[in-house]
Amino acid sequence: MEKDRLPKGQKWISKPVVYDIVKDIKDVDLSTYRLKFFGAVENPIEITYEQFVSMAKDRTVADFHCVTTWSVKDISWEGIKTKELLKMIKPKKEAKFVMAHCLEGYTTNFPIDYLYDEASMLAYKMNGEIIPKRHGFPIRLVIPSLYAWKSAKYLTALEFMTHDKKGFWELRGYHDVGDPWKEERFDED
């Protein structure tokens, strides 16, 4: 039933609204861009955009829920499933949390389990096209099972942490996890 598809307190709109903590985003030089995986992992690596694209073969179609109450149906993302990348990076067993780091300084944290979700991806295409600049070019983290502020755009690194730390919005009162089905919008305390 269609109603069950929309988390409480949300309404459907047709296209995602661009939300950014800064007004301007620098152009990215793909020849120097690197995506890093570091922290509590067996195999810390850095990959180039070209390497990423050559490995990209996964696709997810998922609804996107923003904490400001809009939701968008069926956005398609192409790239690499995070659970596949983790096979290569091998997080240590004490890695419990992840911090996403972005080009303009944005950060967001979440429990590592969300990277094992079937739908979670690192994406370079959105709805069949290279991700538009303001939607996260060149690579974006997409975690459909959490509110959209966890889907970090302009991703530069995933940091694997043994202890939780708060990212940009989490420091400003937003929930550490942010599950739309539990309406985890803000931290209670």
- Interacting residues toward ligand MTE by CB under 6 A: 16-21, 66, 102, 104, 106, 135-136, 148-149, 151-154
Q: What is the closest distance, in whole angstroms, from the C-beta atom of residue 181 to ligand MTE in the complex?
A: 17
> Which CB atom, from 20 or from 117, has the smaller least distance to ligand MTE?
20
Q: What is the closest distance, in whole angstroms, from the C-beta atom of residue 1 to ligand MTE in the complex?
A: 26
Q: What is the closest distance, in whole angstroms, from the C-beta atom of residue 135 to ligand MTE in the complex?
A: 4
> Which CB atom, from 23 or from 93, has the smaller least distance to Mo ion?
23
Distance of CA 123 to the CA centre of its chain: 9
> Which CB atom, from 101 or from 150, has the smaller least distance to Mo ion?
150
Q: Name which of Mo ion, ligand MTE, none residue 17 binds, using a CB cut-off of 5 to 8 Å depending on partner kind.
A: ligand MTE
Strand, helix or coil at 165? coil
State the Cα torsion 27-107-35-118 to the nearest 10°.
-120
Please give the residue whose beta carbon sits closest to Mo ion in the complex. Answer: 149
If you search the block for the tokens 């995070």, which residue do you land on? 82
CA 152 – CA 138 distance, rounded (Å): 11
CA 165 – CA 108 distance, rounded (Å): 9
The secondary structure of residue 138, as a DSSP letter, is S
Asked if residue 147 lies in contact with residue 185, where contact means CB atoms within 8 angstroms, the answer is yes
- The contacts of residue 32 (CB under 8 Å, 6+ apart) are none
Q: What is the closest distance, in whole angstroms, from the C-beta atom of residue 58 to ligand MTE in the complex?
A: 19
- Per rule CB under 5 A, is residue 19 in the interface with Mo ion? yes
Q: Which of 35, 66, 80, 177 binds Mo ion (CB under 5 A)?
A: 66
- Positions touching Mo ion (CB under 5 A) are 19, 66, 149
